[in-house]
Chains A and B, each alone.
Chain A
Amino acid sequence: MMRWKISVDKNACLGSAVCVAIAPDRFALDERQRSGPVQTEIDPDEMVRDAAASCPSEAISLVDTDTGRPVDLDQ
């Protein structure tokens, strides 16, 4: 069963909260208004793919834990 690993580059994050709005169960803002994953490893979730593809600072990366390759965001 494929799993995705989510990471957010806090230095790149602008606090736009686009990801939090698209996938409120998957991302949360810290006290500095920077995003982070609620859980770092998840089952594939299209909302998370959408959130990563919509990030204005490309701060969200998704990796397929089986292959270690980035998940294709353009689907």
Chain B
Amino acid sequence: MTVGSNPVKFTPALPGQPVPEIRTISGDRPVFLAELPDGRIVWLVSGYQNVRQMIIDQRFSRALAVAPGQARQGFEMFAGGSINGMDPPEHTRLRKLVASAFTSRRVEALRPRVAGIVNELIDAMLDRPPPADLAAGFSLPLPARVICEMLGVPAEDTGQFHAWSDTILGDWQRDSGEIMTALVELYSYFGRLIEIKRAQPADDLMSALIAARDDADRLSEEELTVMCCTLLIGGHETTANEINLSLLLLFDHPGEAAKLRADPGLIPGAVEELLRYTRLGNLVPARVTREDVQIGGVTIPAGEQVIPLFVTANRDPSVFSDPDRFDVTRDAANHLSFGAGVHHCLGAQLARVELQEAFRGLIGRLPGLRLAVPASELEFKPGMAIHSLRELPVLWDQP
């Protein structure tokens, strides 16, 4: 392979495929120009320190990446109006309105409720003989019910908003007309809910945001609607799929799963290792350089698209020894799966509590939990920016 200033062809690995050897592809350059399957020429940034530096540094702008004139595909059509596609100070103004609801302390107070939902969902699974689809019966409804209760959205609407969310989280292969239709429908859905809440406020996040709009004019009506959509999508879709991918990994490593069964005290640390090791998606949205920026020994000119390769950060041997080994007892807490900097996942602490309680419940109450079909028969939904299983059929030992 020639290695020079010519872009290197880069195809992200599908779920289940081995992580690409970035160093081999790039000719051992940590930061390199690449051509993606959709034809975009972007800079890819690899390695823990480089990725971390890049996502914290505000010279790499999300707002410029979704600005008018940029070809917005897939999820970027939605991100353009949301905090995910903003820079400070607009980003800070909006994020501050919701940040306090997602702090460690506030989320810890929700833990008993999360554990209660986990138990209800497992009770419902135990009511029928196995097999069961864990994706539909557990992984999706758990975070969906939690974020619905926080926001004040009726949980019985999960089927409907989840379908929109699946479409909106599309990758570049997804038809942009479909995404636009799903966005319009989700916005109208929240438009109606916001009017209902405005008339009858409750003790929930949507009512608090409406008050911030109506009483203090801290955000526009459109920002209010998009924020609700962002919290709903971000609050359920990622966690649901992380539960599924984590279970697949544990099924594949029965020795590690046995350690958690023997000592549930290992679960919080194991969740960090699961987050480090699983790949929820392959390519996160791009940033665009505001000016020439030096990183990883190269100068990226202003106005270029740049994408951090999180998998190379989470598998960097200088930070995580023997990084391709899945080890529930390692200290993996410094993984970058929630990002870092201003776009650090708002719901990171909530996701941690949900994942911890999910595995505590599943491991504690469903002995012998295993796949009901060969792993090769599992299907991922096509055209999504995150790895989303269609179904996760499982068996367990009945008493």
Contacts and interface: CB of A to CB of B under 8 A. Distances in A.
Interface of A: 12, 14-18, 20-22, 24, 32-33, 50, 53-58
B56 A21 contact: yes
Interface stretch (B247-255, B322-330, B335-343): B335-343
B58 A54 contact: no
Contacts of A12: 104
B105 interface: yes
Contacts of A16: 338, 340-341, 344, 348
A32 to B, nearest CB: 8
A57 B344 CA distance: 12
A56 B103 CA distance: 5
Contacts of A56: 99, 102-104, 344, 346, 348-349
Nearest to A17: B340
B83 to A, nearest CB: 11
B398 to A, nearest CB: 40
B92 interface: yes
B11 interface: no
Contacts of A14: 104, 348-349
Contacts, number: 66
Which 10 pairs of residues, A with B, have the shortest CB-CB distance? A21-B341, A16-B344, A17-B340, A21-B342, A57-B104, A21-B56, A17-B56, A50-B92, A53-B96, A58-B103
Nearest to A34: B334
Given A16-B348, A17-B56, A57-B349, A22 B103 contact: no
24 contacts: A14-B104, A14-B348, A14-B349, A15-B334, A16-B338, A16-B341, A17-B340, A17-B344, A20-B56, A24-B56, A32-B334, A33-B334, A50-B88, A50-B92, A54-B92, A54-B95, A54-B342, A55-B99, A55-B103, A56-B103, A56-B344, A56-B346, A56-B349, A58-B105
B348 A22 contact: no
B330 to A, nearest CB: 16
A61 to B, nearest CB: 13
Interface of B: 52, 56-58, 88-89, 92, 95-96, 99-100, 102-105, 333-334, 338, 340-342, 344, 346, 348-349
Contacts of B102: 56
B344 A18 contact: yes
B267 to A, nearest CB: 18
B217 to A, nearest CB: 14
Contacts of A24: 56, 58
Nearest to B347: A56
A22 B88 contact: yes
A54 B96 CA distance: 6
Nearest to A24: B58
B341 A20 contact: yes
A56 B348 CA distance: 8
Contacts of A55: 99, 103
A12 B342 CA distance: 18
B340 A15 contact: yes
A63 B333 CA distance: 30
Contact of A18 (B57, B100, B104, B341): B341
Contacts of B89: 50
B99 A53 contact: yes
Contacts of B100: 53
A58 B338 contact: no
Contacts of A18: 340-342, 344
